[in-house]
Structure 1
Amino acid sequence: MSLNDFVLGKISLNQYAHRLVQNGASFHVHYWGVMPKHYDNLPHKHSFFEVCFVIDGEGEYVDNDFTYSLQKNTMFCSRPDVLHQVKSENGLFLLYVAFELIESESSEEWINIMEEASQRSKVVIDVKEDTTAAQIWKFLLTQAAKPEQAFGEKILTNLAYSLILSLLQIFIPYSYNNQHEVSSEQPSLLLSQAKLYIQDNLSQPLKLTDAAGHLHISGRHLSRVFVSELGVSYSEFVQNERIQRAVTLLKTTDLSIKDIAEETGFRTVHYFTRVFTSVVGSSPGRFRSLYTNSETTTFSDN
C-alpha cells in the first residue's frame, strides 16, 4: 500500500468515520492520522484516547515516568489526562486514531470498559503483522482510499468500529473478552426486523406503539429489546437513524434542508436543525459546506 493511499484513506475517514454507533457504544472519533515522519514532540495530555501503530522506524514513548521502546509493529495507547511524549531521531511512520466514548449515548457496560481502559498500566504492545487490529487498520485505509461506491460510508463506519474494538481487545484483553454480551452477541431476529422497519420508514412518525404493532408484540417488549441488546432506548435509536440518514442526504444530494427534514421525519426545519446541531456538532448547512469543501480533511465546526 503506497503512502498516497494511506493519505487518501485518512482524508476519507476524517470525512465519513467520525461517529461510530453499534452494540450499545457510541464513539466520537476526533481524528484519523497518518504521519510518515514523526519526530520528537513536547510532553502533553489529551482528554481522550489516542492509539498509534508504528508502521516503520524506531523511537521511544514516554508515559508519565516510564519510557518504552518503539519499533515496527508496536502499538501504544495514550490514555486520557496522562502526560506523554513520543521521541524519534530518524522519524516514525505512524498511523493513529483519537477517540472517546460518548457516555450519554452508551451503556453502563461500555462506560465500565472504557474506565478500565483508562486505568490500564500496559500501554505499549508489540504486535504481529497478522494481528487482527493491524490487518483491519490497513484494510480500512485501503478501502477508504478507493473512489466512492455504493454502501461505502456504511462499510467504512463498520470497519472503523471493528478496529476500535480490536484495539481495545489488545490493551484490555481479559476484562474486555468477559463482556461478551457487548461485542459478540448477534442481534436477535426481532431486533433486526425492528431496525429494518425503522430504516425503511424514517419519514414517518415511528411511534414505539406503531413499530411494536407491526411486529405483533407489545411496546414494553420492544422497548426492552432495544435496551437489552443495543444499550439505547427505542427513541434514541430512531433519532440516531434519522441523523445518519440526514448526514447521507446532505453529502450526496442537492435536496433543501426543508426537504431533508421531511425525508428524515422531523416535524419542522427548526427542530431538525436543533437536533442535528446537538448530535453532530454543526448545523446542517455548515456540515454540508464543510463536506463539499475539498480542502477539509477533518470534521470540525471551529
Structure 2
Amino acid sequence: MSQMVEPKPKFQENNYIFHYRRITQEGDWEQIHSHQGIEFLYVHEGNGHLIFDQKLHSVSAGTLLMCQPYQLHKFKMNISRESPYIRTVFVFDPFLFERYAAAFPALHAFFHKIWKARLDQQVFQLNPEDQMLLSQLLQDFHKSLNSCPGLQQTEEVVLFLFTLLREFRKLAEAGQKHASDGSLRTNSRHVEQMMAWIEEHFQEEFSLDRLAESLHLSPYYASHLFSKETGCTLSQYVLAHRLRESRLLLSTTDLTIAQVGQQTGFNSSAYFVKSFKSKMGMTPHTYRKQVNKSFED
C-alpha cells in the first residue's frame, strides 16, 4: 500500500503542473496532500473514496475535484491491473491567470471566487456528456503542449485555462444538478464530526479521550472507525492537518519557525522541524525560502 503526505509540487517555469492520464495499476493507493496552487483532478477510471472538506465522497470515473490553495485532501483508491486508477491532474499558480483575466470581468470574478471564497461545492460527478467534453479538452491540451515550442507553452496554458474555467463555471452554476451524490453515508457522520473536532482543536495537544467523549463514543471505537473509513489513523490525520496549516503560515506570515510550530499544535520547535522535514522532505526554513522565491519569480 502506498500512503504519503505529498510535499508542495515544484511548478515549472510557467507556473503549472500537468499530468495527463497518470496510471496506477497495483495495490491500494492512498495519498494525503495539498498544493500551493489551484488544482483540478479528473478521474478517468478507478474506484475509491476521497476525504475533502471534512466529508467523505465516493470516487469513480467522471469525478472532478477542484481544490483551492492549501486545501488538504486524501484519496484512497482500490486498484488492480483489471481496475487501474487513471487520473489527470492540473495545478496552476493563480497569479499566472490573474495577469490575463482582468479583460474578462465575469470570468475574472468567478476565478476570484474559486480562488479565495468559501465554496458550496468542489466535488462533482459529471454526466456522460460533460465527461466526454472534459476528456476531449484535456486530450487536446496534452497534444498542444507536446507539439508547441517551450516559449509558446504559457500561451497554451492560458488559453486552456480560459476554456476550463468557462466549463467549470457551468458546473458550479448548475449546482446540485451535477453534484456528487456519492457521499459515503455509513458511519460518515461520526467521521466527519471527528474531522470537525480536529479542525477546532488541532492547535492543542491531541487527546483521543477528549475527541471520543465529545462524540459519546469509546476511544477504541472512535479510533477503529476513523481508520476503517479513511485508511489513515487519527494521529496521521492530525499531523497532516497541522502540516497543512504550518505551510500556510510559512507562506503567508512573517512568524518565526518556532511560532509557526507553536500555533499549529507542535509541542516544541525541534519536533516541528523534525516532523516537517520527515514528511515534506525539507525544513520549514527551506520551504519558506522556496515559496518566497516562487513569488519573486
What TM bracket, shorter-length normalisation?
Answer: 0.3 to 0.5
Which has the larger Rg?
A: 1
For normalisation by structure 1, the TM-score amounts to 0.46
